[in-house]
Amino acid sequence: MTLLTLLGTRQAWLVHANIRLNYGPLRHVLVSPEFHHWHHSSETAARDKNFAGLFSFCDVLFGTAYLPKGQDPKAFGVDYPMPSSYLALLAYPFVVWTSKHKRNDPSASQHRLSKGEEPAQPRQGALLS
């Protein structure tokens, strides 16, 4: 068990390292830094992609693999505003959840539509709504 923990920790460090490694044919099995960097890209085409931490074939299996040949991500992070304070970041998932919950309330939706707002559209490529 200790060996698996050590290997898992090393793999997490490796995939987050700012290095480019050619895994050759193993790229179809193991996640490389090059593969995982796209998971952190703010580019629209890479959104909701490359979730695997160890086995890249899991992303292939679930249709979330993304590794354009000969390209690197141009920018990392999110492409929408995020809170800047520590406490606001901790609260952020709950604020988003509450906001989505209110949007799903039929009376709230009707109120927004009566004000001329467009209905919210799901994000392209999202696995879960």
Q: How many Cα atoms are found within 13 Å in the side-chain-facing hemisphere of 121?
A: 4
| Cα 75 from Cα 33, distance rounded (Å) | 15
Looking at residue 127, its pLDDT comes to: 42
CA terminus-to-terminus distance, the chain: 35
Taking alpha carbons only, the member of 35, 28, 33 closest to residue 57 is 28
What angle do the packed helices 86-103 and 106-114 form, to 10 degrees?
A: 90
pLDDT digits (tens, 9 = 90+) for 52-107: 989 999 999 999 999 998 899 999 988 888 898 999 999 999 998 888 877 666 55
pTM reported for the whole predicted model: 0.63
33-57 tens-digit pLDDT: 999 999 999 999 998 999 998 999 9
Query: Residue 108 pLDDT more than 90?
Result: no
Q: Note the pLDDT of residue 8.
A: 84
- Report which DSSP code applies to 123: P
Give the per-residue pLDDT at 61.
95
Query: At residue 56, what is the residue type?
Result: S
Does 9 have pLDDT greater than 60?
A: yes
* Rounded Cα–Cα distance for residues 110 and 107 (Å): 5
Provide the 10 A C-beta neighbour count for residue 46.
Answer: 22
129 pLDDT tier (thresholds 50, 70, 90):
very low
